[in-house]
Amino acid sequence: MAGKPKLHYTKGRGKMESIRWLLAAAGVEFEEEFIETKEDLEKLRNDGSLLFQQVPMVEIDGMRMVQTRAILSYIAAKYNLYGKDLKERAWIDMYVEGTTDLMGMIMYLPFQPADTKEKNLALIIERATTRYFPVYEKALKDHGQDYLVGNKLSWADVHLLEAILMVEECKPDALSAFPLLQAFKGRISNIPTIKKFLQPGSQRKPPIDEKFVAVVRKIFNI
């Protein structure tokens, strides 16, 4: 039997968090080897583990996979969370790219200068509530099903729940105008594997704080 996937990243969310989410949703146990210093990162680079000298990196099925999108699509396909045909996969990809854009804005917020943070936070809320959430609300309304694609849990649903929770950390009432997304959030959060991941003590990581921003800057020299 193959060993558990091993995730190589910092102790923060960053680009690895969506990978943690997807593995957890699929019910897959995984191990983590944390990069805590610049030397830890250099070791991975020097021993040839990182194809493009970058993390996240996941050891899975005898591969050392890099590039977040490649890792996520592999996990989604392996655990039957990637639709039943090319059209469903295309819709999943489109929905995931949207939530990736939104989460990317939130992910980089703590690293921005203090004088621009408030303006950028307002932009995130504006984009979430006028550009992104309306798309998912309409999708759920148009087909009247519990999931975004194919009436079956997919990577798109897992990613959207992660994005919703990130936006709500910025603005708790962000879903107030989206009743179908509120119901979606409740449904997906109660799927047993996801419910477990949302409990305290899981491998889900907390929002990044100033102290951890300093650690990340030191590790990645930014």
What are the residue boundaries of the structural domains of the chain, listed by start? 6-79+198-212, 86-191
- List the CATH code of the domain at 86-191: 1.20.1050.10
Name beta bridge partners: 33. Answer: 8
> Cα 187 to chain center, whole Å?
18
CB 102 within 8 A of CB 125: no
User: Which pTM value belongs to this model?
Assistant: 0.95
Which residue matches tokens 């990196």? 57
C-alpha of 163 from chain center: 7
**Amino acid at residue number 66:** V
Cβ–Cβ < 8 Å for 129, 147: no
Q: What is the pLDDT along the chain (222 residues), one digit of tens a residue?
A: 468 999 999 999 999 999 999 999 999 999 999 999 999 999 999 999 999 999 999 999 999 999 999 999 999 999 999 999 999 999 999 999 999 999 999 999 999 888 898 899 999 999 999 999 999 999 999 998 999 999 899 999 999 999 999 999 999 999 999 999 999 999 999 999 999 999 999 999 999 888 899 999 999 988
Same fold, 6-79+198-212 and 86-191: no
CATH class of 6-79+198-212: alpha beta
**DSSP letter at 63?**
E
